[in-house]
């Protein structure tokens, strides 16, 4: 008789849903449970049938919805979603939304996609995933989705949400500069519709206040998550009478633009100006000097969000074997930041 997933679960003393998570190599399964399941799999010589779900007549497609000017962010997210989808025998539809300024249009676009492509569920990324009007409309329409959001506390719908603590990571980056004797630190912000922009700004401000450093409005410049925006705003801050000694850019692309502008203006980095970024994208490693940044594992985050979606689609609401759905970007110190010299 063929060994089933329930046989493995019984031998391991766990739910069959936990066995499924281990088989699909999902993140967050506690090591003790993973070891029990793997031991049972080896003992029973169990081989999973990844096509069983299709035989039950369920949709084999999920959708990835995004709106982000950062191509590296999108590609890295795509890799993570694909990895999780393939392990669970799902196909993927990738759909960019353009009209993010109008939530009603975004909803109608997503609704049309779900009907046209017959997707079982969606993985939503910022800023679409962070818009409450869109989220409410999708819930009313009965569309299943998981989402990735920026925030310092867990949202109410944590069972379907991955949240990233941008605020704490931004605090740590700002503190890194402060401890290197920088007091005039400029902040180059990202697109306002992304919650990460506001969260990173608040982390920056909180660090300055905690170290009794004035939050100077002229050093905070709004903009976009692009290289060109970094170039333009870095030129502006270098023209300030009391120019900053450090720049905190809201992502690595902005930071790379600021570094380019500094070189064009004969400003040495980090000797005269320290520059730090956020995300640990290829920009942070391909510039010279390489950028101090906060590593945000977007592929892992996207894979985790996809696993949350698949659990919902498979009717799995057992969270007992899972850890918290939060990520704190890890600071990586490189050559672009240094002690301020008098």
Return the DSSP state at 225: S
Q: Other C-beta atoms within 10 Å of 262: how many?
A: 22
pLDDT at 265 over 90: yes
pLDDT at residue 323, rounded to an integer: 55
The chain-wide mean pLDDT, for the chain, equals 89
pLDDT at residue 308, rounded to an integer: 92
Q: Are residue 77 and residue 96 in the same domain, yes or no?
A: yes
Q: Are residue 118 and residue 201 in the same domain, yes or no?
A: no
Q: Are residue 187 and residue 268 in the same domain, yes or no?
A: yes
Q: Are residue 130 and residue 191 in the same domain, yes or no?
A: no
Q: Are residue 196 and residue 100 in the same domain, yes or no?
A: no
Which two three-digit tokens encode residue 332? 């990586």
Q: Are residue 173 and residue 292 in the same domain, yes or no?
A: yes
pLDDT at residue 157, rounded to an integer: 87
Q: Are residue 25 and residue 57 in the same domain, yes or no?
A: no
Q: Is residue 282 part of a domain?
A: yes
Say how far apart CA 171 and CA 151 lie, in whole Å. Answer: 13
Q: Is residue 342 part of a domain?
A: no
CA distances from 233 to 40, 154, 278 (A): 58, 33, 17
> Residue 9 — pLDDT band, cuts 50, 70, 90?
confident
Helix (H, G, I), strand (E, B) or coil at 40: helix
> Residue 322 — pLDDT band, cuts 50, 70, 90?
very low
Q: Which residue has the tokens 């449970």?
A: 33
Q: Are residue 274 and residue 251 in the same domain, yes or no?
A: yes
56 vs 152, higher pLDDT? 152
Q: What is the mean pLDDT of residues 56-66?
A: 77
- For residue range 298-308, what is the model confidence (pLDDT) as tens digits? 999 999 999 99
Q: Are residue 203 and residue 282 in the same domain, yes or no?
A: yes
Say how far apart CA 147 and CA 160 lie, in whole Å. Answer: 6
Residue percentage of the chain with pLDDT more than 70: 91
- Domain of residue 97, CATH code: 3.40.50.2300
Domain enclosing residue 268, as ranges: 166-296
Say how far apart CA 238 and CA 326 lie, in whole Å. Answer: 37
Say how far apart CA 123 and CA 90 lie, in whole Å. Answer: 13
145 vs 315, higher pLDDT? 145
Report the number of distinct structural domains present in the chain. Answer: 3
Say how far apart CA 277 and CA 268 lie, in whole Å. Answer: 17
Query: Beta strand pairing status for 61-66 and 91-96?
Result: parallel
Q: Is residue 337 part of a domain?
A: no
Q: Are residue 103 and residue 176 in the same domain, yes or no?
A: no
Q: What is the mean pLDDT of residues 90-101?
A: 88
Return the DSSP state at 83: H
pLDDT at residue 54, rounded to an integer: 46
Render 118-177 in DSSP notation, one character per residue: --SEEEE-TTGGG-HHHHHHHHHTT--EEEEEE-SS--TTGGGEEEE-HHHHHHHHHHHH
Query: Beta strand pairing status for 326-327 and 121-124?
Result: unpaired
Say how far apart CA 8 and CA 39 lie, in whole Å. Answer: 9
- For residue range 157-201, what is the model confidence (pLDDT) as tens digits? 888 999 999 999 999 999 999 999 999 999 999 999 999 999 999
pLDDT at residue 315, rounded to an integer: 74
Q: What is the mean pLDDT of residues 71-84?
A: 92
Q: Is residue 321 part of a domain?
A: yes
pLDDT at 342 over 80: no
Q: Is residue 334 part of a domain?
A: no
Say how far apart CA 250 and CA 319 lie, in whole Å. Answer: 34
pLDDT at residue 56, rounded to an integer: 45
Say how far apart CA 234 and CA 229 lie, in whole Å. Answer: 8
pLDDT at residue 49, rounded to an integer: 53
Which two three-digit tokens encode residue 277? 């970024």
Q: Is residue 304 part of a domain?
A: yes
How would you class 127 by CB atoms within 10 Å of its CB: exposed for 0-12, middle for 13-18, buried for 19 or more? buried
Q: What pTM did the predictor assign?
A: 0.82
Render 5-37 in DSSP notation, one character per residue: HHHHHHHHTS-HHHHHHHHTT-TTB-HHHHHHH
pLDDT at residue 321, rounded to an integer: 42
Say how far apart CA 52 and CA 59 lie, in whole Å. Answer: 12
φ, ψ of residue 78 to 5 degrees: the values are -60, -40
Most confident region among 23-37, 43-57, 130-144 by mean pLDDT:
130-144
Q: Is residue 340 part of a domain?
A: no
Q: Are residue 251 and residue 310 in the same domain, yes or no?
A: no
Question: Which are the contacts of 240, defined by CB distance < 8 A and separation ≥ 6?
Answer: 218, 219
Q: Which residue has the tokens 């939503």?
A: 124
Q: Is residue 339 part of a domain?
A: no
Q: Are residue 77 and residue 153 in the same domain, yes or no?
A: yes
**Is the previous residue joined to 127 through a cis bond, with omega within 30 degrees of 0?**
yes
């Amino acid at each position: 008789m063929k060994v089933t997933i329930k046989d493995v679960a019984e031998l391991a003393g766990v739910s069959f849903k936990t066995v499924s998570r281990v088989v699909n190599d999902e993140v967050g399964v506690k090591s003790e449970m993973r070891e029990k399941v793997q031991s049972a799999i080896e003992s029973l010589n169990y081989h999973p049938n990844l096509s069983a779900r299709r035989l039950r007549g369920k949709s084999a497609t999920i959708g990835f919805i995004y709106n982000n000017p950062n191509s590296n962010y999108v590609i890295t997210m795509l890799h993570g979603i694909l990895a999780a989808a393939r392990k669970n025998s799902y196909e993927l539809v990738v759909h960019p939304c353009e009209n993010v300024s109008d939530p009603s249009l975004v909803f109608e676009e997503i609704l049309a996609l779900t009907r046209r492509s017959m997707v079982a569920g969606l993985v939503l990324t910022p800023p679409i995933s962070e818009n409450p009007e869109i989220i409410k409309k999708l819930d009313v329409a009965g569309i299943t989705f998981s989402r990735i959001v920026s925030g310092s506390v867990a949202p109410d719908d944590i069972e379907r949400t991955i949240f990233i603590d941008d605020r704490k990571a931004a605090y740590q980056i700002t503190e890194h500069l402060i401890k290197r004797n920088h007091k005039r630190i400029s902040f180059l912000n990202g697109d306002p519709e992304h919650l990460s922009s506001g969260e990173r700004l608040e982390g920056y401000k909180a660090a300055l206040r905690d170290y009794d450093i004035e939050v100077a409005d002229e050093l905070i410049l709004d903009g976009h998550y692009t290289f060109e925006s970094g170039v333009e705003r870095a030129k502006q801050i270098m023209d300030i009478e009391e120019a900053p000694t450090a720049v905190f850019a809201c992502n690595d692309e902005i930071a790379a633009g600021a570094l380019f502008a500094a070189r064009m203006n004969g400003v040495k980095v980090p000797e005269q100006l320290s520059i730090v970024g956020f995300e640990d994208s290829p920009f942070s490693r391909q510039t010279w000097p390489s950028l101090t940044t906060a590593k945000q594992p977007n592929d892992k985050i996207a894979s985790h969000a996809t696993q949350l979606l698949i659990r919902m689609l498979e009717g799995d609401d057992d969270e007992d074997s899972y850890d918290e759905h939060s990520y704190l970007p890890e600071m990586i110190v490189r050559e672009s930041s240094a002690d301020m010299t008098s």
